[in-house]
Structure 1
């Protein structure tokens, strides 16, 4: 978890043949002023080659800053990248220097191919749009390429699948830097869900215009309101009126996780909300979330978030991020 004393400096790359949607979502999320959130990002758009920089849809982007701006960046966003486009020697050098001093890289969709070209993916767990997965595996044989997830986080390298998955990755980063309350604020402004798990499948099957919601969706909604209760595969299957094997398959196809993984994650989401917004003790939160004991809560919280519940509360209590 990041506890920023000063704004993180973000650089969004702009280049010829720019991917308009990926660029637009990066600007909307990171460059929009958000005075309600303390130490919100300082953001610049960086032209990495001479103009005019043409974007999809006949747009032309003009930038006030050039590639030298990357020397200041804490986070460099790559909003797509033509997979056969060669970066300039200057851009390569700036990115290598940024990597050496610990800057983060957020590659949206095909943006990961810029990092591959520069040689930063060996040993990294990465993803991209399903359309480019085989190409990425061929070009980055020393990387662990995940072929059906929304996004991957591996130290300094953050990568997303298709364009819209870049929003999920951005919200994950905001949650890491500012906590759940700030993330909810941004998501509400965008009229989007605040969280989709990175390991969720890129394709989520949905019924077409159903007369009513399916049994599994109804079950998920009910479990979210009763996380303090004991939920086993057997009890879930009985509640949904399906076999245990069918339940497990439907969970995997719909949310990309096993029932047990999904319940643990939902309990952690609730615990985070309570730690940020409620005056409950750790014992009370353990009971309300269904972890039952503080020890179990701490175990799962640390495993998922790499921080204890108490430290999380210190960093992201109700007055930490939102004024």
Structure 2
């Protein structure tokens, strides 16, 4: 759903994530459409136009309604608030990217709900909508029906999170591979990464991260990892957080959960075997971490995603 003032890059994030035909990669084809309070040419915040073919009646058919970044100071057009409220009332999920969260605030859909936006605007969001539970710095917040995300890259993370929830890790990874982005960054990861681009004279930890993902079954503590890159444990921990935005423990745990997802989907191996294969050691530890991150047990996840081919899933209506 877009209107005058839409940010084209964030709009493109939603189109890229949900609008392309990736059936050759085993990804379900979605019934994707762009709608707004007016049809015809909508002006972006960069001055050029985007043609909108559908009015707000298209929202009535949607399982997921996406609102990309919009100009925060502009009034929300008539009909948008009502369309969002009706969508929410009938159970549709709503995703915002960056400043799109302000439209949900105007609709009252952030009241009493944890939410986020770009780190530059979190204070403003909290001030304008004091009943919202604004969580600063995180990449995205999934509060059930409403998912709010930070800036551009975090919007992609939230989209992949939705793919993973609805169709499993294998489909989400297929979408991520086509977009050449990491398949998973947890919503709780900080927006702030001290040095997103390593200084030219600094050696990146990229090769080590690749090694870790291939050796998740091994003991991976800070001391041994620091020795591999010839750093002190303290320097290594600081560099790791600067490059990934997470502690070594949190990052490795997330990779182990992601690998467990893939094995639960693609194999019939018992949970105890999978726990050892991904480095959790035993089924109890896997269940603990998996349930904390995914909100359901490994067996429940397998029942939901292991049956049928990804492409067999029913099409969904997803206006942006």
Residues 293 and 45 (structure 1 numbering): CA distance in 2 closer, same or farther, change over 3 Å? same
SS at 1:71's partner residue? helix
1:200–1:255 Cα contact (<8 Å) kept = no
SS at 2:52's partner residue? coil
1:181–1:322 Cα contact (<8 Å) kept = no
Q: Distance in 1 between matches of 2:274 and 2:107?
A: 46
> Could you say which residue in structure 1 is the equivalent of 2:7?
19
* 2:91 is aligned with 1:102: yes
1:230–1:290 Cα contact (<8 Å) kept = yes
> Could you say which residue in structure 2 is the equivalent of 1:207?
198
1:316 to 289, 298, 305: 305
1:16–1:49 Cα contact (<8 Å) kept = no
2:250 to 261, 264, 274: 261
> Could you say which residue in structure 2 is the equivalent of 1:182?
171
> Could you say which residue in structure 2 is the equivalent of 1:8?
none
* 2:164 is aligned with 1:168: no
> Could you say which residue in structure 2 is the equivalent of 1:9?
none
1:47-86 to 2 correspondences below 5 Å: 47-49=36-38, 51-86=40-75
1:151–1:165 Cα contact (<8 Å) kept = yes
Q: Distance in 1 between matches of 2:164 and 2:131?
A: 30
2:98–2:151 Cα contact (<8 Å) kept = yes
* 2:283 is aligned with 1:294: yes
Structure 1 residue 127, shift from structure 2 partner = 1.6
Q: Distance in 1 between matches of 2:124 and 2:131?
A: 13
SS at 2:29's partner residue? coil
* 2:23 is aligned with 1:32: no
| Structure 2: gaps spanning 5 or more residues | 313-320
SS at 1:262's partner residue? helix
Q: Distance in 1 between matches of 2:298 and 2:39?
A: 48
1:30–1:41 Cα contact (<8 Å) kept = yes
TM-score normalised by length of structure 2: 0.87
CA RMSD in angstroms comes to 2.4
Q: Distance in 2 between matches of 1:184 and 1:50?
A: 34
1:194 to 177, 183, 199: 183
> Could you say which residue in structure 2 is the equivalent of 1:5?
none
2:38–2:52 Cα contact (<8 Å) kept = no
Q: Distance in 2 between matches of 1:224 and 1:271?
A: 12
**Structure 1: 4+ residue segments shifted above 6 A:** none
SS at 1:315's partner residue? helix
Which deviates further from its counterpart, 154-163 or 253-262? 253-262
1:16–1:51 Cα contact (<8 Å) kept = no
SS at 1:194's partner residue? coil
Residues 182 and 38 (structure 1 numbering): CA distance in 2 closer, same or farther, change over 3 Å? closer
Q: Distance in 2 between matches of 1:19 and 1:286?
A: 43
| Structure 1: gaps spanning 5 or more residues | 1-12
Q: After superposition, give the CA deviation of every residue in 1:3-22 in whole Å (9 maximum; x if it has no partner).
A: xxxxxxxxxx1211221112
1:277–1:317 Cα contact (<8 Å) kept = yes
Structure 1 residue 151, shift from structure 2 partner = 1.6
Structure 1 residue 264, shift from structure 2 partner = 1.6
Q: How many residues align?
A: 309
Q: Distance in 1 between matches of 2:187 and 2:223?
A: 27
